[in-house]
Amino acid sequence: MKPFATLRQHLLSATLLFAVACISTTAMAQTSYTVGATSTGVPFTFLDIKTNKLQGMMVDTVTLIGKNAGFSVNVQQTPFAALIPSLTSNKIDIIAAAMLKTAARAQIVDFSDPVYSYGEGLFVNAEDKRSYKTLDDLKDEIVGAQVGTVFVDALNKKGGFKEVRVYDSVADMMRDVALGRIKAGFGDRPIVAYQLAQGANAQVRLVKEYQSTLMGDVCLVVRKGDSQLLARLNKAIATAKSDGSIARIVQQWGLN
């Protein structure tokens, strides 16, 4: 089986052409920014099945901040672990999600002034009546945390657990706690509290007496060195804080 040199070349150039034709660049106007938000972060950012759009506390916040700063936002669903890569590779311009400010993240991206603060929440199986006050109460147990969150690192650094499992979403983690596959799960406290209050999973309970150790600030996030946008955001955040409009959003989503 030999020959066919010319046909081969035709096929090759055709495929190359096709690949090149698929490539295009996106232009960005200053009056509109693309915002990345997770679609699984109830109540900060999640899908409204009636309108098929993302809604939630952070969606409202970034829309408000944008209005104050004079730009419109185009909110795009992005898995949590893909948020920062999407930002650094120019797929999105702003992250509006329940993303806490950390030193490690601040090396890669820039954070705005905080819009909200919270720490980690602990949940266990509803049948588990033990009292958990600190992480030490979970020594030698299997625990879970959401991929890409600060809790994964913190738990691994703390050590002493039998295993730290990493989940895509809090809902998956709750399912495994309910099924007894893991002893306890860690998630953003307001998210966990809100979801359980909404009846997310009746076989799981929030451990009320647990003391958060990783208090953090939720900020809007922009590309490293995007100082112009950062200044616009910070100015708008200051306005929204002083006139109480952020507080109203927090109140509206039951996060206070």
Amino acid letter, 144: G
Q: How far apart are CA 67 and CA 31, in angstroms?
A: 10
Q: How far apart are CA 184 and CA 130, in angstroms?
A: 12
CB of 179 to another protein, least distance (A): 12
Site string for another protein, 15-54 (x = CB under 8 A): x--xx--xxxxx---------x--xx-x---xxxxx-x--
Q: Is 107 in the site for another protein (CB under 8 A)?
A: no
Half-sphere exposure for 36 (CA within 13 Å, toward CB): 22
61-69, 88-96, 112-120, 227-235 -> range binding another protein (CB under 8 A): 88-96
Task: Rule CB under 8 A: choose which of 103, 199, 225, 242 binds another protein.
Answer: 199
CB of 88 to another protein, least distance (A): 8
CB of 166 to another protein, least distance (A): 14
CB of 9 to another protein, least distance (A): 9
93-104 b/e (C-beta count within 10 Å ≥ 16 → b): bbbbbbbbbbee
The answer for residues whose C-beta is within 8 angstroms of residue 155's C-beta and 6 or more apart is 135, 143, 145, 161, 164, 186
Q: How far apart are CA 33 and CA 239, in angstroms?
A: 20
Residues lying near another protein in the complex (CB under 8 A) are found at 1-8, 11-12, 14-15, 18-19, 22-26, 36, 39-40, 42, 46-50, 52, 76-79, 82, 85-86, 88-91, 168-171, 175, 195, 198-201
